[in-house]
Amino acid sequence: MNSTNDEKVNLTAEYHSYMTDAITHSVMLDRDKCKGCTNCIKHCPTEAIRVRDGHARIENKRCIDCGECIRACQYKAKKAIYDRFEDFADYKYKIALPAPSLYGQFEEVNDLDAMLSALVELGFDDVFEVARAAEMVSEYTRKYLERNDSLPSPVISSACPVIVRLISIRYPLLLDNILPVMPPIEVAARVARKEALEKHPELSDEDICVLFISPCPAKASYVKNPLGVKKSAVSGVLSIGEMFFKMRAAMKTMREEKVQAQSGIIGISWAGTSGEASALFNEKYLAADGIENVIKVLDEIDNGNIRNLDFVELNACNGGCVGGVLNVENPYIAKARLQTLRRYLPVSLNRMGDQRLDSYEWDSLPEPEPVSKLSDDRHEAMRMMREIVAITHTLPGIDCGSCGAPTCRALAEDIVKGRAVADDCVFMMRDKLLKQCASLTQTEEKGETT
Amino acid sequence: MLAACFTKTDCPEVVCSMADFVRLEYDIDGENFTSAGEASVKVKRSLRQMGFDPETIRKVSVSMYEGEINMVIHADGGKATVDIYDDRIVIVLADRGPGIPDIDLAMQAGYSTAPDNIRSLGFGAGMGLPNMAKYTDEMKIESEVGVGTTVTMVVKV
Ligand SMILES: Nc1ncnc2c1ncn2[C@@H]1O[C@H](COP(=O)(O)OP(=O)(O)OP(=O)(O)O)[C@@H](O)[C@H]1O
Ligand code: SF4
Ligand SMILES: [Mg+2]
C-alpha cells in the first residue's frame, strides 16, 4: 500500500514507537537501517526521538511530522510514508491536486500547461491546482482581516499542518489566533470534487479519488489526522519526488496538451516563504520559515512581544513548501524558477465567486494537546518536577546525547518517567565504575596485607 | 524553608521528599544580552509540564521576562528564583546593580533610563515595571542605590 522515497519500506519496521495512540504519522523509522547514531535526536524540535537499545524511537504524540529527522539521518533510516498512484486504480475518476511547489521542480518547464497535462497522460482524469484554492484562501483572508477588528492579533496562517500541530501541543493560547479557514489542500479537494460532480452527473462522490502531490510528509499525516475538520476530502497523498520522474518521462512522449493552468502569481507564490502573506496587500505581516525560527517567533507572540502585526505566516521548512523533504530540487533554485514561471501571469485568476468560502471554515478549532504534561495530578507533577530538577543537577550538563536523549534535562525527565536509568549517562556510569574499581582495589590491597 | 535547594555549588545532594514546592533557579548573565529572556522560556516550559493553566503560565512568563530583561539592561544581571506552589508562583529577581533611586517614578508608564543602543532594539518604552505589576497579583520592589534591587512577584493560581 505504501512506498517511500527510494524503496519499499519494510512495514514490520517499528511504526512509531512505544506511544501508540490515535495519531498516524507519516514520518517513521526503518529499524533495519537505523545504526543508533543519535544524530537525529538533537534535530527534533519537540524532543520526540530517543535512541534506546541501539535504535531510534519516535514518541508518537510528540511528533509533528516536520521531517527534520529525515533531513538529519545520513543512513536514510527515517522515512516518509505516502501512497502510490497504482493503489487507487479502482476509482472511476481520479483527480490530481498538484502543490504549487511542484511547479518549481522542473528545469525544462516554462509552460505550466505541459506539466499539468503530463498528469492526465499518467492516468489522472482531471487536475485541480492547489494554487487555485490558495488564491481563494488569500481572498478569504483579506476579507477576514478587514471584517474583524476584534480578532486575536496577530492572525496566524493555517496552511502548514506542522505549525497547527505545534501550536496545539505547545501554544494553547494561540489556537484562537489561527485563521479559521481550511488550508488550500482541503479547499482544493472539496472544490475539485464539487466541480467533478457538476461536470459528470453520472458520478457519485465515492467514485472520485483526490490525490495530493505533496512536498512534505506532514500533508500525508494531515490527511490521516485532519486538523479542524472531521474528515479530509483528500483520498491520498503522493510524493513530488516520485511523481516528478514519471511526469518528466510523460512530458517527453506526450502529443497533446489537455490541461490549461488556471492559477496566477498569487497562487504560485504560495510555494515559497511570504507568498501567502504578500498576497494580503497589507504590509503589517511577518513571514518566518524553518522550524527553529518559527518556534522563536511563536515564543515571542506567546509572550506578547510582537505587536502591531496583522498576519503571521509560518512555514516549518526552510524557504517554505519548496523546502519540503519530498521535493527533488533545492528550495532556492525552485523558488527562482517559480519567479520566472509566474512572470507573465495575471495576479490572480481565482475569486471566491459562488464558491462561498464560509463553507470552508473549520468545523471546530483544533484541540490543545498538552503532551509535555508530566501527570494529570498537580501534586504528582510537582513531585516529578522536583526530582527532574534534582537529577538534572547531578548530570554533567553538557548535553552530549550519548545516553540517547537530546539533553541532560531530557534524560532526567526520562528517568523520572521510568523510561531510562541514571546509568544510561556515560559519565555517571564511568564514575560508578571508577568507584567500584577503587573499592575493589582497596579490598584487594586489604586482602594482600592480611 | 530551605527544604529544597538545587544549586550545584550549595548542595549537590538534594532532599526532595520534604519540600512542598518546586524551586527553579537561574543565573541571569548580564554580559550576554543575546541570551536575555531565556530563563523565562525555561520557566514556562516547566510550568507547562506541571500542568498549570495557560493563563497563569502567560502571566508568569511575561512578568518574569520583563524583570529578567531589566536585570540585564539596567543591572548587569543577577539571580532569578522561582518557587512554585500549587496555589501560587513566587518569582524573586535579585541583582547587585545600581539600584532604583525613585521607585514610584520608575513604576510610571513611559519612564525609562534605557540607553539609545537598547532602544533601537525596541526596549526602553518604560512599560516593563507597569506590565509586571499588571500581570502579577502582588509585586514588591526593594532597592538601595549602589547596592542592588530585589523584585518579588506573586502570581496566584
Ligand atoms: N533592576 C533594575 N535596576 C536598576 N534600575 C532599574 C531596574 N529595573 C528597572 N529600573 C529602572 O526603572 C526604569 C523603568 O523600568 P521599565 O522596565 O518600566 O522600563 P524600561 O526597562 O526602561 O523599558 P521597557 O521595559 O519598556 O523596555 C528603567 O528605565 C530603569 O531606570
Ligand atoms: S518528524 Fe519532526 S517532530 Fe517528528 S520525530 Fe522527526 S524531527 Fe521530531
Ligand atoms: Mg524594562
Domains belonging to chain B, first-starting first, are 12-156 (3.30.565.10)
Q: A with B: how many residue pairs have Cβ under 8 Å apart? A: 68
Q: Which pLDDT band, with edges at 50, 70 and 90, does A175 fall under? A: very high
**pLDDT for the residue A394:** 94
Phi-psi region for residue A123, left (φ > 0), alpha (ψ -120 to 50) or beta?
left
Nearest to B49 among A302, A304, A374 (CB): A374
Residues A397, A383: contact at Cβ < 8 Å? no
Classify burial at A302, counting beta carbons within 10 Å of its beta carbon; exposed 0-12, middle 13-18, buried 19 or more. Answer: buried
Mean pLDDT score of chain A = 88
Residues A215, A135: Cα–Cα separation, whole Å? 19
- Residues of chain A with pLDDT > 90: what percent? 64
Nearest CA, atom 11, ligand 1: B106
Q: How far is A416 from chain B (nearest CA, A)?
A: 13
Nearest CA, atom 12, ligand 1: B106
Whether A68 shows a pLDDT value over 50: the answer reads yes
**pLDDT for the residue A290:** 96
Determine the distance separating the centroid of ligand 2 and the alpha carbon of A101, expressed in angstroms: 22
Residues in contact with ligand 1 by the CB-under-6-Å rule are B 66, 70-71, 73-75, 95, 97-98, 100, 106, 111-114, 123-130, 149
Residues A128, A140: contact at Cβ < 8 Å? no
The long-range contacts involving B70-74, CB below 8 angstroms and separated by at least 24 positions, are B70/B128, B70/B129, B70/B151, B71/B28, B71/B30, B71/B95, B71/B97, B72/B28, B72/B29, B72/B30, B72/B33, B72/B36, B73/B33, B73/B36, B73/B114, B73/B118, B73/B123, B74/B98, B74/B113, B74/B114
**pLDDT for the residue A440:** 83
CATH class label, A13-80: alpha beta
Determine the distance separating the centroid of ligand 2 and the alpha carbon of A371, expressed in angstroms: 14
Whether A324 shows a pLDDT value over 50: the answer reads yes
pTM (2 d.p.): 0.84
Nearest to A385 among B22, B40, B62 (CB): B22
Inter-chain CB proximity A379 and B86 less than 8 Å: yes
- Contacts of residue B22 in chain A, CB cutoff 8 Å? 382, 385-386, 389
Residues A183, A229: contact at Cβ < 8 Å? no
List the single residue in B with minimal CA-CA distance to A298. Answer: B41
Give residue-wise pLDDT tens across range A128-142. 999 999 999 998 888
- The preferred substitution site among B104, B107, B129, B139 for testing ligand 1, maximizing ligand atoms within 8 Å of CB, is B129
**pLDDT for the residue A447:** 64
Residues B149, B142: contact at Cβ < 8 Å? yes
Give residue-wise pLDDT tens across range A115-125. 999 999 999 99
**pLDDT for the residue A3:** 41
- Contacts of residue A385 in chain B, CB cutoff 8 Å? 22, 46, 49-50, 84
**pLDDT for the residue B14:** 37
Whether A172 shows a pLDDT value over 60: the answer reads yes
Residues A396, A402: Cα–Cα separation, whole Å? 12
CATH for A378-449 is 1.10.15.40
* CA gyration radius, chain A: 25
Determine the distance separating the centroid of ligand 2 and the alpha carbon of A55, expressed in angstroms: 15
Q: How far is A382 from chain B (nearest CA, A)?
A: 6
Phi-psi region for residue A128, left (φ > 0), alpha (ψ -120 to 50) or beta?
beta
Q: Is A166 in the pocket of ligand 2 (CB under 6 A)?
A: no
What b/e sequence results for A88-104 when a residue is b if at least 16 CB atoms lie within 10 Å of its CB, and e otherwise?
beebebbbbbbbbbbbb
List the single residue in B with minimal CA-CA distance to A382. Answer: B50
Three-state secondary structure string covering A189-241: HHHHHHHHHHHCCCCCHHHEEEEEEECCHHHHHHHHCCCCCCCCCCCEEEEHH
Whether A4 shows a pLDDT value over 90: the answer reads no
- Which residue type is seen at A371? V
Determine the distance separating the centroid of ligand 1 and the alpha carbon of A159, expressed in angstroms: 40
Q: What is the mean pLDDT of residues A308-325?
A: 94
Task: Return the DSSP state at A374.
Answer: S
Whether A387 shows a pLDDT value over 70: the answer reads yes
**pLDDT for the residue A304:** 82
Q: Which pLDDT band, with edges at 50, 70 and 90, does A2 fall under? A: very low
Nearest to B48 among A370, A378, A382 (CB): A370
Nearest CA, atom 2, ligand 2: A66
C-alpha cell at A208: 472520485
**pLDDT for the residue A449:** 56
Q: Which residues of chain B have pLDDT under 70?
A: 1-19
Q: What is the mean pLDDT of residues A209-235?
A: 93
User: Domain residues of chain A, as ranges?
Assistant: 13-80, 85-360, 378-449
Whether A74 shows a pLDDT value over 80: the answer reads yes
Point out the ligand 2 atom lying closest to the alpha carbon of residue A49: 5
Out of A268-277, A352-361, A386-395, which region has the weakest mean confidence (pLDDT)? A352-361
Out of A70-79, A404-413, B140-149, which region has the weakest mean confidence (pLDDT)? A70-79
Neighbours of ion ligand 3 (CB under 5 A): B 70, 128
Give residue-wise pLDDT tens across range A340-365. 888 778 788 887 765 566 678 888 88
CA atoms within 13 A on the CB side of A137: 32
Stretch 40-59 of chain B: residues touching chain A, C-beta under 8 Å = 40-41, 45-46, 48-51, 54-55, 58
List the single residue in B with minimal CA-CA distance to A368. Answer: B54
A33, A120, A193, A207, B6 from A202: Cα distances, Å:
48, 20, 13, 10, 72
Q: Which pLDDT band, with edges at 50, 70 and 90, does A10 fall under? A: very low
Q: Which pLDDT band, with edges at 50, 70 and 90, does A21 fall under? A: very low
CA B71 to chain centre: 8
Determine the distance separating the centroid of ligand 2 and the alpha carbon of A245, expressed in angstroms: 27
Nearest CA, atom 19, ligand 1: B126
At residue B24's C-alpha, the angle toward residues B23 and B26, to 5°, is 140
In sequence order, the β-bridge partners of residue A286 are: A312
**Which H/E stretch holds residue A386?**
helix A378-394
Task: Return the DSSP state at A327.
Answer: -
Q: Which pLDDT band, with edges at 50, 70 and 90, does A444 fall under? A: confident
- The preferred substitution site among B72, B74, B120, B132 for testing ligand 1, maximizing ligand atoms within 8 Å of CB, is B74
**pLDDT for the residue A158:** 94
